[in-house]
Amino acid sequence: MNEAFGFEHFWTQADGLIRANVYLLFAMSLASWFLIFLKAWSGIRARRSLASLEAFWSAPSMEQAMATLIARDPEALLAPLARAALQAVEGDSAASAWSTPSDRLTRALRASIQAATERLESGLTLLASVGATAPFVGLLGTVWGIYHALLNIASSGSLSIEKVAGPVGEALIMTAFGLGVAIPAVLAYNGFARANRALLARIDGFAHDLHSLLAPAP
């Protein structure tokens, strides 16, 4: 009896819509877990990059500071920021009169922070989308399973457990699949978003320190 209503029985009895839902949920789960592991590893490397700030500020010269930062910045979050700041300060002296060195430095730092933000937040939209849509994909299978149960009742003319157990079990399995895909994606999204806020606050602070260091005196 248990084998008759196990997963193998569910899969053999499933129609095209249910199987398509299962394949879609499996693809969503695979993509979300790939991103979870990728972003987790990226976060570890980003924290290693931030650990290089102390060595940067303690270097005896800007050249050595940049070399230290490049060597210890595997995620390329801080080195491009410092490089863009130096290039803005040492830039073309024939720039427009209204574009002061301080303005160029501010624009370069802002562009580098935006690039770092985009790099840190890449993939989070997919995690949020999976977390938001997977329950509804599972719900579609749930509704379809209940619909089959009602059809079996109508065709038999009587309410019996044999007629409804299979479709109702199918419906519950699809609900579980949808939640099983959505919950890790939502938890990962919230965790990565919180970690990114902390990382971006440190990057923004580094940019302010660079501006104070390199901005020419008025």
Per-residue pLDDT tens digits of the chain, which is 218 residues long: 444 455 565 666 667 777 888 889 999 999 999 999 999 999 999 888 888 888 888 888 888 988 988 888 888 889 889 998 888 887 655 455 556 778 888 898 999 999 999 989 999 999 999 999 999 988 888 887 777 767 766 766 655 566 566 666 677 788 888 999 999 999 999 999 999 999 999 999 999 998 888 877 65
112-119 contact pairs (CB < 8 A, 24+)? 112/80, 112/81, 112/84, 112/85, 112/207, 113/81, 113/200, 113/203, 113/204, 113/207, 115/80, 116/77, 116/80, 116/81, 116/200, 116/203, 117/200, 119/75, 119/76, 119/77
**pLDDT score of 1:** 44
In this structure, what token pair is assigned to residue 189?
A: 């999204």
Q: Which DSSP state fits 217? A: P
- Quote the pLDDT of residue 38: 94
pLDDT of residue 173: 80
What values do phi and psi take at 108, rounded to 5?
Answer: -65, -45
Task: Say if residues 135 and 100 touch (Cβ distance below 8 Å).
Answer: no
- Burial (CB count within 10 angstroms: exposed 0-12, middle 13-18, buried 19+), residue 101: middle
Report pLDDT for 95.
Answer: 52
C-alpha distances (whole Å) from 137 to each of 124, 134, 143, 151, 164 are 20, 5, 10, 22, 22
Residue 133 and residue 116: Cα distance in Å, rounded? 28
Prediction pTM value = 0.80
Structure tokens at 140: 């579609």
Q: Where are the alpha helices (DSSP H) in the chain?
A: 7-13, 16-50, 53-58, 62-71, 79-89, 101-121, 124-156, 161-214
| Residue 8 confidence (pLDDT) | 61
